[in-house]
Amino acid sequence: MTHITSIIACHDCDLLQKNPPPSALCLPSLGSHTVTSARWTTAVVIECPRCGAILRRTQKNSLDRTIAWLIAGLILYFVAVSFPFLALQSHGIANETALISGIIILYKHKMASMAAVVLATCLILPLYTMISLLYILLSIKLNRYLPGVSRLFAWTLRLRPWGMMEVYLLAILISMVKLTKLARIIPGPALYSFIALTFVLAAASISLDNHVAWDFFKPRQVLTSAKGKP
């Protein structure tokens, strides 16, 4: 049997100590290198025994709540990109625009690099984050170590700060305020979905407990490396 010992350091007093066992965190047992479908239903706070600093704070029902937020986010995302975003009405003539219209206009005005940045950070990256996190969390919930799941989780955490939907939304709201003097603004269903999506993604990020994923990956990574040794 391969024993796994993890050491954590207090960020205030630098005291090195053993990470509490999964049983102390109400997590599934990792000693046998299996994770059952436990629900992580109890919130636990781990404090440093020397200075009292918080070392780890688990969240109640983190896995289920994050999956629910991500599914809601995917629904809102497809509504935001499929339906009219807003309409401009002036002198009896109304022109509807979609979420991707601004990116197309940037490209037509010979700002392809700016269009690519907006497309990647505001549309592609949020979709990638939601799909990858669903793949990872369903892997944990179903107790199946799917191919590349740990590396995918690491890359998702690295790329997540580059998602800039809030910046894009702020730019849209500023433009709407300025355009009210020129034309009547008629919000479309995509605008409301995009606003809701921004808050849903923020809620998913808050409810996600990264330690749940790393505790699931760690024993399998150790066993894989141990099997490769002669």
Residue 33 lies in a domain: yes
If asked whether residues 105 and 192 sit together in one domain, one would say yes
Residue 222 lies in a domain: no
What's the pLDDT at 92? Answer: 67
Residue 225 lies in a domain: no
**Alpha carbons 44 and 96: distance in angstroms, whole number:** 50
- Do 60 and 69 contact (CB within 8 A), yes or no? no
Q: How far apart are the first and last CA of the chain?
A: 16
**What token pair was written down for 74?**
């995917």
Instruction: Give the residue numbers spanning the domain of 26.
Output: 7-59
What's the pLDDT at 74? Answer: 94
**What token pair was written down for 156?**
């998702």
If asked whether residues 26 and 108 sit together in one domain, one would say no
If asked whether residues 79 and 193 sit together in one domain, one would say yes
- pLDDT tens-digit readout, 43-61: 567 777 778 777 766 667 7
If asked whether residues 67 and 162 sit together in one domain, one would say yes
- pTM for the model stands at 0.69
If asked whether residues 118 and 200 sit together in one domain, one would say yes
Question: Which stretches of the chain drop beneath a pLDDT of 50?
Answer: 1-5, 23-24, 26-40, 221-230
**What token pair was written down for 92?**
């009896």
If asked whether residues 66 and 54 sit together in one domain, one would say no
**Alpha carbons 11 and 147: distance in angstroms, whole number:** 33
3-state per-residue secondary structure call for 121-166: HHHHHHHHHHHHHHHHHHHHHCCCCCCCHHHHHHHHHHHHHHCCHH
Counted domains in the chain? 2
If asked whether residues 26 and 86 sit together in one domain, one would say no
- Do 134 and 72 contact (CB within 8 A), yes or no? no
If asked whether residues 75 and 168 sit together in one domain, one would say yes
If asked whether residues 22 and 100 sit together in one domain, one would say no
What's the pLDDT at 35? Answer: 38
